Structure 1
């Protein structure tokens, strides 16, 4: 199981945003999409019979080398969440190239109130805010990812157990990570869930500098 040095972690949340992002991203010409399920036993944590399950999707070049990988994960609940994310991070570290991997973690929420940040137009011309922050270690690539964006507001609440656990672990392990959040709405305008999904997909496409490997489909 080979993992690229750029890894996007997507959680299939109850609102369906994680699934929408996973379905909207397509490889650019010259790259091929491959996917495989994985099951990592959690017996060593005392969780006998439990597994960290999910899907690993990679966009690879003609030599089979993955250029970007996506871990598409279920919405793990405690106590599985922390153990599962620890095992997945261990897998990424062991299977990625010699260069330290960079994680990109989108967290998508419904619009709720007005935030001030980077603003992106949706397909209907409405505006949705985008925030990005470096978590864990930082390097030249993570600096590029967050350059020009605004840090998430202090009021942001991560209502996702897997993402909460992931961010805590990468802080401790000093793994370069960029958290991308969207969901605030600019100047009180409303936007539909579909608009928000499109805005976040496009924002991820731009912020992560993955234009060479990703095409954005329709949510």
Structure 2
């Protein structure tokens, strides 16, 4: 299982953003897209029968060498979440090229209220903010990824166990990682319009830095499929 030096980690969150981004980020000319499932046993953590499962999407050049890899993951729950993310990071480190891989973690929050900071107004009048932060180690590429954005506000709530676990682990292991997120105030906008705007904000930013294309038409055609949240009510007290 070959993994590129640029790795995007996407979680199939209940809001549907992760799956929508995975579908909408398409290969640019000269690259082909392929995917395969993976299963990593978690028996060594005492989780007998549990596995870190997901989909590995590769964008490869004409020689078959992966240029960008996507890990598209389910929304793991505790205690599987931490163990699964640890195993996936170990796989990335062992299968990526000799150079240290860079992780890109797009995570979109449901637009609500107004984020303070740099706000981009587009032709359609929406207010959208792009936030990005370097986590773990940093290098020239991570600097480029955060350029033109602002740091996420302290009030940002990452309601995703896999993403929370991943960010904590990369801090310890000092793996170059960039968290990219977007939110904003969409007064008078329908839910579908707001979804498209935040997806395009994040998708365009990520795509231009990793030689892919963001397909707005794919999002319009397939929509953003939401699932019922399984967030335990007591967790709201700690967010």
Q: Which category of TM-score, normalised to the shorter sequence, fits these structures?
A: 0.7 to 0.9
Distance 1:196 1:211 in 2: 10
* Bigger strand share: 1
Q: Matched residues in 2 for 1:206 and 1:33: separation?
A: 11
Q: How far is the alpha carbon of 1:125 from its aligned partner?
A: 3.8
Closer, same or farther in 2 for the Cα pair 1:109/1:201, shift >3 Å?
farther
Alpha-carbon contact 1:205-1:214 (below 8 Å) kept: no
- 8 Å CA contact 2:109–2:158 kept in 1: the answer is no
Report if the CA contact (8 A) 1:26-1:214 is conserved: no
Aligned mates of 1:207, 1:153 — CA distance in 2:
28
> Is the contact made by 2:196 and 2:220 (CA closer than 8 Å) also made in structure 1?
no
Report the Cα distance in structure 2 between the residues aligned to 1:164 and 1:143, rounded to whole angstroms.
Answer: 22
State which drifts further: 43-52 or 27-36.
27-36
Residues 159 and 122 of structure 1: CA distance in aligned 2, closer, same or farther (over 3 Å): farther
TM-score, with normalisation over the residues of structure 2? Answer: 0.79
Show the counterpart of 1:63.
63
Structure 1: state its 5+ residue gaps. none
Select between 148-157 and 73-82 the one with higher mean Cα deviation. 148-157
Deviations 1:161-188 (A, max 9, x none): 0000000000000000000011232789
Compute the RMSD of aligned alpha carbons: 4.2
Q: Bigger CA drift: 141-150 or 8-17?
A: 141-150
In the TM superposition, residue 194 of structure 1 has moved relative to its aligned partner by 5.0
State the partner residue of 2:172.
Answer: 172
Aligned residues: 215
Cα distance, 1:21–1:212 mapped onto 2, change above 3 Å: closer
**Deviation (angstroms), 1:148:** 2.2
Q: Give the C-alpha shift of residue 118 in structure 1.
A: 4.1
Cα separation, 1, equivalents of 2:209 and 2:15: 19
CA distance in 2, matches of 1:211, 1:141: 28
Please report how far the alpha carbon of residue 190 of structure 1 lies from its aligned counterpart in structure 2 after TM superposition: 7.4
Give the match's secondary structure for 2:170.
helix
**SS state at 1:19 partner:** helix
- Structure 2 unaligned blocks of 5 or more: 198-205, 224-239
Kindly state the Cα deviation for residue 152 of structure 1 after the two structures are TM-superposed.
Answer: 0.1
- State the secondary structure of the residue aligned to 1:97: coil
Q: Cα distance, 1:66 vs. partner?
A: 0.6
Distance 1:205 1:20 in 2: 18
Q: Look up the SS of the partner of 2:217 in the other structure.
A: coil
Give 1:116 shift.
2.9
**Could you say if the C-alpha distance between residues 30 and 204 of structure 1 is closer, same or farther in structure 2, counting changes exceeding 3 Å?**
closer
Please tell me whether the aligned partners of residues 134 and 142 of structure 1 are also in contact (alpha carbons under 8 angstroms).
Answer: yes
2:213 alignment partner in structure 1: 207
Point out the more displaced range, 180-189 or 200-209: 200-209
Change (3 A) 1:4 1:165: same
| Structure 1 pair 128–103 and aligned structure 2 pair: CA distance change class (3 A) | same
**In the aligned structure 2, how far is the partner of 1:53 from the partner of 1:196?**
28
Change (3 A) 1:202 1:95: closer
